Amino acid sequence: MNEELNLKIEAALSLEISAERKEILQVLIDYIKSKRKAEAPIRLHFICTHNSRRSQFSQIWAQTAADYFQIPAQCYSGGVEVTACNERAIASLERFGFLISKRGHSNPIYITYHTQDANPILIFSKLFNDPVNPHSSFAAVMTCDHADENCPFIPGADARIPVRYEDPKAFDDSLVEAEKYDERSMQIANEMFYVFSRVGIN
């Protein structure tokens, strides 16, 4: 990984997590551990309403953390409405050191790399049941309260795990917009790296 992203990962690994958040994240840790023990595929599907900010951050950081700790997880994201991946979220990921290129216009696909020789992570806004997403044997990780409360059933999921985050959208077009997007990205990085750091611990 490039120096800039490595520094961000080191910062994420150094941050403290509250006991309350650790309790929430433990459910996700236990799920991943159970799949590893069963030698079954580990599929994490991060879901929020528009699949434009928090679920995209979560997919990117979870996949990056899984690769960092060499855990064979596959990370996805989706929503209940199709919009577009928010450009402010993309700008934040670029500030953190991800390598990103863009294809398309109205709902572009962002081809994202944490290292130049890694498999690309493709992010774009899509429904949770889009063909690119898993349709069985996955954990539905609900990253926003709206999707969690309005999607009581996710077909094919063998676990439903709420890991909610505040929406940085509240700060769009404000003087602290970039700061708040980076703050949310760092929180998600911190928690996803914590999750995968605990997977190999009994």
Over residues 195-199, the mean pLDDT reads 96
Contact yes or no for 47/140 (Cβ under 8 A): yes
* Amino acid 145: pLDDT: 83
Q: Please, what is the average pLDDT of the chain? A: 95
Over residues 172-196, the mean pLDDT reads 98
HSE, side-chain direction, 13 A CA sphere, residue 161 = 22
Q: Is 67 helix (H, G, I), strand (E, B) or coil?
A: helix
The CATH code of the domain at 3-198 is 3.40.50.2300
Q: Which helix (H) or strand (E) holds 92?
A: helix 87-96
Label residue 40 by pLDDT band (50, 70, 90).
Answer: very high
* pLDDT tens sequence across 42-74: 999 999 999 999 999 999 999 999 999 999 999
Cα 13 → chain centroid: 16
Domain range summary for the chain, segments of one domain joined by +: 3-198
Which tokens in the block code for residue 137?
């044997």
pTM: 0.96
What letter represents residue 133's amino acid?
A: N
Share of the chain above pLDDT 70, in %: 98
∠ CA 92-175-13, rounded to 5°: 35
DSSP letter at 79 equals B
Nearest to 123 by CA among 132, 166, 151: 132
